[in-house]
Amino acid sequence: MRNKKIVELNKMAREASELLAAMANEKRLMILCHLLDGETSVNELAE
């Protein structure tokens, strides 16, 4: 049981690490910040 939980925690940590690595890119982070205000067209993001 304990090993199963450790395996699951490792999987979740790996997934979180991959997500955070993608968000660490400055341009991707800026896009995410713009999207907090709602939907945005690609043209608006390009400006």
Question: pTM score, two decimals?
Answer: 0.55
> CA 17, CA 29: separation in Å to the nearest integer?
15
> CA 21, CA 16: separation in Å to the nearest integer?
8
> CA 46, CA 34: separation in Å to the nearest integer?
11
> How many structural domains is the chain composed of?
1
In this predicted structure, what is the pLDDT of residue 2?
87
**pLDDT band with cut points at 50, 70 and 90 for residue 47:** confident
Tens digit of pLDDT for each residue in 1-45? 789 999 999 999 999 999 999 888 998 888 989 999 999 899 988
